[in-house]
Amino acid sequence: MDIAKQKRSLTKWNQKIHIYLGLYLLFFIWLFGLSGLLLNHHWEFANFWEDRKEIKYHKTIQISRGMEQYTLVHEIKNKLNLDGSVINPIFSNDSIFLNFIIAKPGTRYDVQANLNDGKIMVKETKFNTWGIIRALHTTRNPTLKERSERYQTVIASIWSISLDIISVGLIIICLGGWYIYLQVPRKRFYLGLISITSGFVVCICFLFFSF
């Protein structure tokens, strides 16, 4: 295959990947764009904390003795039929109480378990759609420091993997876009150079120069 043919083929496939990947990621891009704006602003219409709904209830369950924290938390979680990632499980000083949070976008359960008599107090907090959108933006894998205090659900892990796919996909779209830009006619090329340079100059200034 000669070089010109190879180049044509590369151009064609690059354009296809740019289109298909862009279309596949379209709704993810909109979701993360919108949720990013919500996180950076405090718009009145998007209040989620003030509109939360809280209910408290008690339950009594059979709790096994002499189990490790991780197993104990999961036993309580399963018996209460609560779904979500476990955050910050802590025993009280006298080891009678075990407190932890179960959270998923839109819902949070604050659980206090009395290990002696099996009485469980649950505070359930429900958030509105704006709260869900914000939480979707910030749901991620636990860091090394958080691993001992956060147990993620399988679906939350899949969501975290999808964040990687979106990030890598967006980088590929950008690189492919730059390649497409290199093929445009000279007049559009120079105008495009102004756009790309201004974007780069701003980002480089923030990244590499301290003000």
d(CA 132, CA 176): 32
Dihedral sign from CA coordinates of 140, 143, 145, 151: positive
Residue 128, interface with other proteins (CB under 8 A)? no
Nearest to 130 by CA among 49, 28, 53: 49
Q: Which stretch binds other proteins (CB under 8 A): 65-73, 94-102, 108-116, 196-204?
A: 196-204
Interaction mask 147-186, other proteins, x per CB under 8 A: --------xx-xxx-xxx-xxx-xx-xx--xx--x--x--
Minimum distance from residue 114 beta carbon to other proteins (Å): 29
What is the DSSP secondary-structure string of 85-140? EEEEEEE-TTSSEEEEEEEETTEEEEEEEETTT-EEEEEEEE--HHHHHHHHHH--
Residue 118, interface with other proteins (CB under 8 A)? no
Residues that bind other proteins (CB under 8 A): 16, 19-31, 33, 36-37, 39-40, 42, 83, 104-107, 132, 134, 136, 139-141, 143-146, 155-156, 158-160, 162-164, 166-168, 170-171, 173-174, 177-178, 181, 184, 188, 191-192, 195-196, 198-200, 202-204, 206-207, 210-211
